[in-house]
C-alpha cells in the first residue's frame, strides 16, 4: 500500500500452476486487491526435489489430514510441523488450547522425509523448511515490489493470519525491512476487515477513444449515468447515499494494458487533454520508470466505484499506560534463534495482557488464541495505541 491506499486490479489471477508465472492461473475479472498468491502456508508440504534440495509447496496437506502434528493420519512434513519442532508453537495451547499437537509425529515426519536423506539433525531440517518458505515469500515480495517500482527496504511489513506472525521477523531480515506491524486479532484480521468494510459497488465500461479526440462533456454524462446506477444498487443494500471514485484506464495506442488515472467525477467536463496527459505521465513513470511523450494515448475504460456512506467503525484507540511487560510473561520455552543459530530460551508473553506503551526485547514468543508472533534476538517490541505489535528488527543493514 502507498499513502494508505490499497492497490486494485481487474487482472487478478488465482491458483497459478507455476509460481510467479502470469497466465498460469485462473483470471478473476472483477475489481480486487492487487496481490499474488504463492502457495505457501502452514499446510505446505516439504520434500526433496529432483536435484536434491528442499522444496516447500505448492502441494498442501490441507486441513484433513493436515500436517503430521495434527494427529489426523497425515504423514508428510509441513511448515506447521517445522514450526512446532523449532519451538515456535505450543503443542498444548494451539488454537487457544482447543487442539493438541503431536510433537513426536512432526519430528518423525521431518526426520524420515528430510533429515535422514540430507544427513541433517531434525532441528536443522526443520529450520531448512522454515527458511525455504521464508525465501519463497521474500522472492514474491521482491518481484511484486519491483514490478510496481519501489525498494523493499523502505516498506513496513504487516503480518496477519495464523502463521504470518510466526515467520515475519525472519522474512523481514531477508528483505532488509526494519519495521513490522502485527495487528491486534492478527489471526482473524480478514474476517475483521469484512465486518468493518462498507458496502461498495463497481462499474467498468469500455470507451476506447484516442485522448486527443475525447469529448469530456460526453464523458461526464457517462460517469453521471454510472454513478446513478451504482447509487440505486447501494440503496437496495444499505439504503444510504454513496461517495464515488472515478478512474480512467489510459494506455498508449496499441498496448494491451492500461494505467488507471484517478479524476474528480464532479469536474470531468472541465478537464483538458494536457491535464490528463500530465497525470498519466506521472502514473506511468511511477509504475514503469519511464514515459513516452511522442506516442499517442487513448482512453480504454471508465471505472466508477461507489462506497456506501455508512458510519465508520474505526478501531478503538487505547490509552497509553506503559508498565512492565513482565506482567504478561507466562513462561519460558526453548526455541530456535536464527540470529544465534541454536536453540535458546525465549520468553513467552500472553498478548491479551500486553498494554499500549509497553516495550520489551526478543527473543520472545507472543501468543494469542489465533496466532503466535516470533521475535528473535536484536528485535524490540512496542505496543502501540491500537494494541498492535510494532517491531523494530535488528540485523537488517
pLDDT in tens, 339-391: 999 999 999 999 999 999 999 998 999 999 889 999 999 899 999 999 999 99
Global pTM? 0.81
For residue 102, CA distances in Å to 18, 44, 60, 270, 317 come to 32, 17, 19, 67, 39
Question: Is the pLDDT at 63 greater than 60, yes or no?
Answer: yes
Name residue, grid cell 503443542: 91
3-class state of residue 185 by DSSP = coil
Render pLDDT for 223-271 as a digit per residue (tens, 0 to 9): 999 999 999 988 887 777 888 999 999 999 988 778 889 999 889 999 9
DSSP-assigned beta bridge partners for residue 303 = 204, 247
Contact call for residues 373 and 365 (beta carbons, < 8 A): yes
pLDDT at 20 (0 to 100): 64
The full DSSP string for 123-178 is HHHHHHHHHHHHHHHHHHHHHHHHHH---GGG--EE--TTTHHHHHHHHHHHHT--
Tens-digit pLDDT profile for residues 137-167: 898 888 878 777 677 778 899 999 888 999 9
pLDDT at 39 over 70: no
> What is the phi-psi region of residue 164: left when phi exceeds 0, alpha when psi lies from -120 to 50, beta otherwise?
alpha
Q: Answer whether residue 54 shows pLDDT above 80.
A: yes
Indicate the helix (H) or strand (E) that contains 206.
Answer: strand 200-210
More confident residue, 249 or 314: 249
User: What is residue 312's predicted lDDT score, i.e. its pLDDT?
Assistant: 66
Residue 58: the pLDDT is 80
Residue 396: is its pLDDT beyond 70?
no
Say whether pLDDT at 61 is over 70: yes
CB of 362 within 8 A of CB of 378?
Answer: yes
Q: What is the mean predicted confidence (pLDDT) over 4-8?
A: 78
Q: Output the CA torsion 318→319→320→323 (10° steps).
A: -100
Q: Give pLDDT, residue 107.
A: 95
Backbone φ, ψ for residue 147 (5° rounding): -65, -25
* pLDDT score, position 141: 87
pLDDT of the residue at 310: 72
Mean pLDDT of 73-89: 94
Would you state the cell numbers that stand for residue 66, as one nine-digit string? 493436515
The answer to whether 159 touches 137, Cβ cutoff 8 Å, is no
* pLDDT tens readout for residues 203-228: 989 999 998 889 999 999 999 999 99
pLDDT > 80? residue 125: yes
Give residue 126's pLDDT.
Answer: 96
pLDDT of residue 290: 80
Which has the minimum average pLDDT: 12-26, 70-84, 230-244, 262-276? 12-26
> Cell 506521472 belongs to which residue?
282
138, 175 Cβ separation under 8 angstroms = yes
Check residue 332 and give its pLDDT. Answer: 96
- Beta bridge partners, 331, equal 348
Q: What are the structural domains of the chain?
A: 44-131 (no CATH), 199-308 (3.30.1490), 325-393 (no CATH)
Q: Compute the mean pLDDT over every residue in the chain, rounded to the nearest whole number.
A: 88
Share of the chain above pLDDT 70, in %: 97
CA-wise closest residue to 305 among 267, 269, 265, 275? 265
* pLDDT value of position 19: 64
Section 307-329 average pLDDT: 83
- Mean pLDDT for 109-128 is 95
Three cell numbers, residue 132 = 525455504
Answer yes or no: is pLDDT of 37 > 90: no
Please state the rounded mean pLDDT for residues 60-75. Answer: 88
DSSP string, 352-374: GG--TT-EEESSEEEEETTEEEE
What mean pLDDT do residues 305-320 have? 81
CB 52 within 8 A of CB 338: no
H helices of the chain, where?
79-85, 103-110, 116-118, 122-148, 164-175, 189-196, 216-237, 273-288
Amino acid at each position: 500500500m502507498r499513502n494508505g491506499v490499497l492497490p486494485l486490479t481487474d487482472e487478478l489471477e488465482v491458483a497459478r500452476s507455476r509460481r510467479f508465472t502470469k497466465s498460469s492461473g485462473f483470471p478473476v475479472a472483477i475489481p480486487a486487491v492487487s496481490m499474488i498468491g504463492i502457495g505457501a502456508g502452514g499446510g505446505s508440504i516439504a520434500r526433496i526435489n529432483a536435484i536434491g534440495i528442499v522444496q516447500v509447496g505448492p502441494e498442501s496437506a490441507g486441513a484433513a489430514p493436515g500436517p503430521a502434528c495434527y494427529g489426523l493420519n497425515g504423514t508428510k512434513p509441513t511448515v506447521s510441523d517445522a514450526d512446532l519442532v523449532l519451538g515456535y508453537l505450543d503443542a498444548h495451547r494451539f488454537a487457544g488450547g482447543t487442539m493438541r499437537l503431536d510433537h513426536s509425529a512432526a519430528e518423525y515426519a521431518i526426520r524420515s522425509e528430510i533429515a535422514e536423506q540430507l544427513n541433517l539433525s531434525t532441528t536443522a531440517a526443520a529450520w531448512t523448511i522454515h527458511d525455504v518458505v521464508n525465501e519463497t515469500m521474500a522472492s514474491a515480495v521482491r518481484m511484486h515490489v519491483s514490478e510496481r517500482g519501489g525498494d523493499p527496504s523502505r516498506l513496513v511489513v504487516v503480518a496477519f493470519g495464523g502463521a504470518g506472525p510466526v515467520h515475519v521477523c525472519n522474512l523481514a531480515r531477508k528483505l532488509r525491512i526494519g519495521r513490522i506491524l502485527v495487528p491486534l486479532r492478527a489471526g482473524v484480521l480478514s474476517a475483521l476487515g469484512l465486518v468493518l468494510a462498507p458496502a461498495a459497488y463497481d462499474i467498468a465500461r469500455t470507451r476506447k477513444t484516442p485522448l486527443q479526440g475525447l469529448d469530456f462533456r460526453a464523458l461526464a454524462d457517462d460517469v453521471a449515468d454510472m454513478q446513478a446506477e451504482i447509487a440505486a444498487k447501494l440503496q437496495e443494500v444499505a439504503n444510504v447515499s454513496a461517495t464515488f471514485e472515478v478512474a480512467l484506464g489510459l494506455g498508449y495506442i496499441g498496448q494491451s494494458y492500461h494505467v488507471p488515472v484517478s479524476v474528480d467525477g464532479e469536474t470531468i467536463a472541465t478537464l483538458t487533454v494536457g491535464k490528463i496527459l500530465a497525470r498519466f505521465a506521472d502514473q506511468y513513470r511511477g509504475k514503469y520508470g519511464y514515459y513516452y511523450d511522442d506516442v499517442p494515448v487513448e482512453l480504454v475504460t471508465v471505472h466508477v466505484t461507489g462506497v456506501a456512506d455508512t458510519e465508520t467503525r474505526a478501531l478503538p484507540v487505547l490509552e497509553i499506560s506503559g508498565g512492565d511487560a513482565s506482567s504478561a510473561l507466562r513462561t519460558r520455552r526453548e526455541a530456535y534463534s536464527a540470529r544465534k543459530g541454536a536453540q535458546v530460551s525465549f520468553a513467552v508473553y500472553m498478548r491479551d495482557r500486553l498494554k499500549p506503551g509497553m516495550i520489551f526485547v526478543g527473543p520472545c514468543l507472543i501468543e494469542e488464541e489465533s496466532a503466535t508472533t516470533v521475535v528473535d534476538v536484536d528485535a524490540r517490541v512496542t505496543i502501540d495505541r491500537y494494541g498492535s505489535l510494532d517491531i523494530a528488527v535488528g540485523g537488517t543493514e
